[in-house]
Structure 1
């Protein structure tokens, strides 16, 4: 497919501003989704990466694209490739987001680039998010989005055999159930059909099962790192290697790397899905 890169790069520098008050009720739903316990009172520090659930675009249902995402050409450039995935990102934590604060996000398109290889045409869009909590700088996030062609049939699926890794020194098992995927989609107001619509996933995107959200895996890895070290990291970087399809069991893994932690999610056979690094 031919892509007019010069046209898409006109979106570089475009900004979007959103905001939302972080309520105790949202924290309670967040904790319920992840089977975790933490303070929910106003003034308390919020869990790491809860900002993924805040300030999401309130696009009317009639304006969603066929895949459930907002129609392209607004804030994000109108990339003509059908598959969209969260490829990875990096977060620098400045101060904690506090429950009860009004949380704002200023998002900027930093880069649009195209790569062509054996797997076909890929278009990468880089977005920088600047998040404030109660007027204080809370975190800065780089988000990497990748667009690609969908195969014509399931036999042509571009999903590669992922690299396998041994279990980490620290390991926890997670059941990626359909209710977990649904709840996380609801928390993040994400209507992308690959996470809940199995006939669409198998019949149109030719994946073998529901796709486990990248941000969900990143949130679990970041929380796992904070649990192991007793505090939220100051820096957290992650990159998707291969999808995990559910419902299924996967593991969170961690190993020391000097003062840092290397982390990864792995499927039941040890295949790596997402890798991350947490630093303090």
Structure 2
């Protein structure tokens, strides 16, 4: 175990702008290209503040080399495991954006499948110098599992964390959809488009659907079902990967001012859980 405590407090400030074109392109991925907008949909800010480095600075996994803002943790698997967001002001098309980021915690844990590092990053996003979003992001680093050792486990139905379905929509994301999302977010991680790498090097069963993409699908479904509500907060946690060959379901249980949301696989297991709060706009 290496000690990366000196990286806690590391800060980064990035500038950007809310652009109509990038929003329209992501809307097209959700078959909503022709819907008029004057503000950025929630979670679309993940297309901003992209980590732009020269090709020579890209690691073997397709990510930028570690050791710039994030610590140089040597484990090959790097995953966005979850996060918590608060929304204060809408981000309007054309507004100047600024993100102030800081590493707030680094923890080492011994998991069932190997050693893990959890890195927590706090983001404060300003639109025209007014705080619009506060976000806390959880990044997990873990050792890889060779594909020869990966054996599919018998399907086991996991008890639902909620009992009522306000909606349940079937969804599947193929390799083209994953590639388009990778392109829009400038995400070079090979697990999303390079099948041999994903399976043989990182030990997955196929191409991995991006965690932020699944979270955005949940948010899109929520906003479709409560269009007159103002979303106050959203938090999500990934439980297991979703692959490009999986059929899955976008599910939600909507109450007066809260919603439980989840990604459900065909065997009934939960791949991602989320919850949101909202109020009348």
Same fold (TM over 0.5): yes
How far off is 1:153 after superposition?
3.9
Aligned partners of 1:167 and 1:270 also within 8 Å: no
User: 1:145-224 alignment to 2 at 5 Å?
Assistant: 145-156=139-150, 163=158, 165=160, 168-224=165-221
Q: Counterparts of 1:110 and 1:257 in 2: how far apart (Å)?
A: 33
Gaps of 5+ in 2: none
Q: For 2:248, which of 247, 250, 255 is the aligned residue?
A: 250
Question: Would the aligned equivalents of 1:159 and 1:242 in 2 still touch at CA under 8 Å?
Answer: no
User: Which residue in the other structure is 1:27 paired with?
Assistant: 23
Q: State the secondary structure of the residue aligned to 2:231.
A: coil
Task: Note the aligned Cα RMSD (angstroms).
Answer: 1.9
Cα distance, 1:59 vs. partner?
Answer: 1.1
Note closer, same or farther for the CA distance 1:167–1:205 as it changes in structure 2 (3 Å cut): farther
- Check if 1:12 corresponds to 2:8: yes
Q: CA deviation at 1:154?
A: 3.1
Look up the SS of the partner of 1:110 in the other structure: strand
Aligned to 1:87: 81
Which stretches of structure 1, 4 residues or more, deviate above 4 A after TM superposition?
A: 156-162
Tell me how far 1:279 sits from its aligned partner.
0.5
Equivalent-residue separation in structure 2 for 1:66 and 1:167 (angstroms): 44
1:157 and 1:207 in contact (8 A); partners too: no
Give the total of aligned pairs.
273
Residues 38 and 133 (structure 1 numbering): CA distance in 2 closer, same or farther, change over 3 Å? farther
C-alpha change, 1:16 and 1:254, in structure 2 (3 Å) is same
Partner SS state of residue 79, structure 1 = coil
Whether the aligned pair in 1 keeps the contact of 2:85 and 2:234 (CA below 8 Å) is: yes
- Cα pair 2:147 2:204 within 8 Å, conserved: no
Q: 1:158–1:75: structure 2 CA closer, same or farther, 3 Å change rule?
A: farther
1:108 to 97, 102, 113: 102
C-alpha contact (below 8 Å) 2:85/2:133 kept by paired residues: yes
User: Using the alignment, how far apart are the partners of 2:210 and 2:219 within structure 1?
Assistant: 14
TM-score, normalised to structure 2, is 0.91
Where structure 1 has 5 or more consecutive residues not aligned to the other structure, the ranges are: none
